[in-house]
């Protein structure tokens, strides 16, 4: 069979006609397989959702109990049979519970990697390469200028700045699911044991991570009660990236804006967003991780989704691997 018969792009997202399901659909469908809990991949309103327990928990936290008609939890490596074809989830290393989905029929296997990374991450299970005929890869940072440094190096820059400017509060912008907990966890690994203050939007997810055995240390709300004399001088505050341009940030003395994101590799990006201390910490593969992964898996064919597809397709062509862009819509290119 041709791979296009097994999986094909549609306006709803990737569709598997023989299995009658969609993967990470951007619109409500009858049966959805979800790779991870980020909002552009995991949407509410599907009839039935198959995902890891963590991803289901995260969707429930974000959308409430009624986020789907029914759900089914799957563990990594477990074989699920749907309409006579086989589906397996494998760790993707992106955020807690994130998975790649391997779809197989008649000896043809396609791996949908979702979002993934190869860098170490103390808050989730590492990426597992799975041999396949077609590998579907993201391309968020698919330009050879994106090379993420060691995350510990970036955290060292943050802690140095905290020591250097003790009268200011360091506000770290980090996406609420995954990045925020990873940054906090890295700060703890670097030996920082003072309380870390968090924006209200992070509370539920941080509590959930802690309940899953990921130690984030002493977290306190970055709120001021009436008459509170604390001023957050010298503190590290973590909040969603939108928060530090928001009026919320005004409670901090002379805030020093930091942003933990792979986009911070580009100086102009940092400058435009008023970021004083860029922290290049990403939950997506950088260029080398993408190309090394493709080499390692050595699929017959590569399909490229959201991001800078053209550069990765070009690389595959130079490497002699058939590749094409999928042109899926609805996935945020910016979120990291």
Partner 1 sequence: MEGFAELLDRLVLTPQRNGKIKLLADYFRETPDPERGFALAAITRDLDLASVKPAMLRALVAERVDPELFAYSYDYVGDLAETISLIWPAPEQRRANRPPMLSEIVETLSQTSRREGPLLVARWLDDLDASGRYALLKLVTGGLRIGVSARLAKQALADFGRVDVTEIEELWHGLKPPYETLFAWLEGRGTRPTSLAAAPFRPVMLATALDEADFPKLDAADYAAEWKWDGIRVQAVAEDGMRRIYSRTGDDISHAFPDILDAMDFEGAIDGELLVGRLGENGIVAGTFGDLQQRLNRKIVTAKQLSDYPAFVRAYDLLQEGNQEMGEDLRPLPFSERRKRLDAFVEDLDPQRFDLSPLVAFSSFEELAAFRSAPPHPIIEGLMLKRHDSPYVPGRPKGPWFKWKRDPFTVDAVIVYAQRGHGKRSSYYSDFTFAVWTGPEDDPSLVPVGKAYFGFTDEELRLLDRFVRENTTERFGPVRAVRAEPDHGLVVEVAFEGLNRSTRHKSGVAMRFPRFSRLRWDKPPREADRLEALEKLLIG
Q: Which is nearer to partner 1, 84 or 320 (CB)?
A: 320
Query: Judged by CB, which is closer to partner 1: 194, or 271?
Result: 271
Give the separation between CA 336 and CA 140, rounded to whole angstroms. 9
Q: Is 298 in the site for partner 1 (CB under 8 A)?
A: no
Whole-angstrom distance, CA of residue 99 vs CA of residue 112? 9
Maximum alpha-carbon separation in the chain: 70
Among 39, 159, 266, 321, binds partner 1 (CB under 8 A): 266
Using the minimum distance from each CB to partner 1, give the nearer residue, 32 or 260: 260
Binding residues with partner 1: total (CB under 8 A): 40
Contact between 278 and partner 1 by CB under 8 A: the answer reads yes
Q: Which of 249, 260, 285, 323 binds partner 1 (CB under 8 A)?
A: 249
Chain centre to alpha carbon of residue 280: 14
249 φ/ψ angles, rounded to the nearest 5 degrees: -70, -15
Q: Which residue intervals of 69-150 are DSSP H helices?
A: none
| Pick 8 or 160: Cβ nearer partner 1 | 160
Nearer to partner 1 (CB atom), residue 102 or residue 275: 275
Burial of 226 (0-12, 13-18, 19+ CB in 10 A): exposed
Residue 138, C-beta contacts closer than 8 angstroms, at least 6 positions apart = 113, 114, 115, 116, 284, 285, 304, 305, 306, 307
Nearer to partner 1, 116 or 315 (CB): 315
Rounded to whole angstroms, how far apart are CA atoms 182 and 117?
Answer: 13
Is 314 one of the binding residues for partner 1 (CB under 8 A)?
yes
**Segment lying near partner 1 (by CB under 8 A), choices 50-58, 70-78, 213-221, 274-282:** 274-282
Binding mask 139-178 for partner 1 (x = CB under 8 A): ----xxxxx-x-------x---x--xx-------------
Asked if 132 is part of the footprint of partner 1 (rule: CB under 8 A), the reply reads no
Q: Which stretch binds partner 1 (CB under 8 A): 65-73, 137-145, 229-237, 324-332?
A: 137-145
The C-alpha atoms of residue 244 and residue 173 are separated, in whole angstroms, by: 7
Which burial class, exposed, middle or buried, applies to 33 when counting CB atoms under 10 A from its CB (0-12, 13-18, 19+)?
buried
229: contact with partner 1 by CB under 8 A:
no
Kindly tell me which of 21 and 263 has the beta carbon lying closer to partner 1: 263
120 binds partner 1 (CB under 8 A): no
Q: Considering only CA atoms, which of 13, 174, 196 is closest in space to residue 95?
A: 174
Which one of residues 89, 208, 244, 263 is an interface residue with partner 1 (CB under 8 A)?
Answer: 244
Among 271, 295, 324, 327, binds partner 1 (CB under 8 A): 271
Is the C-alpha dihedral spanning 186, 191, 195, 197 positive or negative? negative
3-state secondary structure of 21: strand
Our CB check for partner 1 shows the closer of 149 and 330 to be 149
Footprint of partner 1 on this chain (CB under 8 A)? 143-147, 149, 157, 161, 164-165, 244-250, 254-257, 265-268, 270-278, 308, 310-311, 314-315, 318
């Amino acid at each position: 069979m041709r791979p296009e018969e097994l999986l094909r792009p549609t306006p709803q997202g990737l569709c598997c006609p023989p299995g009658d399901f969609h993967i990470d659909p951007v619109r409500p469908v009858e049966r959805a397989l979800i790779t991870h809990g980020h909002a552009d991949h995991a949407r509410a309103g599907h009839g039935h959702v198959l995902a890891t327990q963590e991803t289901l928990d995260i969707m429930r936290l974000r959308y409430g109990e009624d986020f789907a008609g029914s759900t089914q939890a799957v563990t990594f490596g477990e074989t699920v049979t749907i309409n006579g074809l086989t589906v397996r989830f494998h760790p993707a290393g992106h955020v807690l519970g994130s998975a790649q989905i391997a779809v197989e029929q008649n000896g043809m296997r396609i791996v949908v990697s979702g979002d993934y990374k190869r860098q170490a991450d103390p808050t989730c299970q590492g990426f597992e390469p799975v041999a396949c005929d077609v590998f579907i890869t993201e391309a968020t940072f698919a330009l050879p200028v994106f090379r993420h440094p060691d995350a510990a190096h970036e955290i060292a820059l943050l802690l140095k700045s905290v020591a250097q400017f003790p009268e200011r509060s360091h506000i770290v912008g980090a996406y609420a699911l995954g990045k925020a907990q990873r940054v906090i966890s890295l700060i703890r690994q670097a030996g920082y044991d003072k309380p870390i203050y968090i924006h209200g939007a992070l509370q539920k997810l941080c509590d959930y991570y802690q309940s899953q055995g990921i130690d984030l240390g002493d977290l306190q709300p970055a709120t001021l009660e009436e008459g509170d004399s604390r001023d957050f001088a010298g503190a590290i505050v973590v909040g969603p990236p939108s928060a530090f341009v928001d009026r919320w940030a005004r409670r901090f003395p002379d805030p020093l804006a930091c942003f933990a994101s792979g986009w911070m590799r580009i100086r102009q990006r940092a400058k435009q967003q008023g970021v004083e201390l860029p922290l290049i910490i990403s939950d997506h593969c950088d260029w080398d991780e993408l190309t090394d992964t493709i080499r390692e898996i050595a699929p017959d064919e590569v399909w490229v989704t959201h991001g800078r597809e053209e550069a990765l397709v070009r690389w595959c062509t130079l490497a002699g691997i058939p590749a094409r862009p999928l042109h899926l819509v609805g996935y945020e290119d910016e979120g990291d």
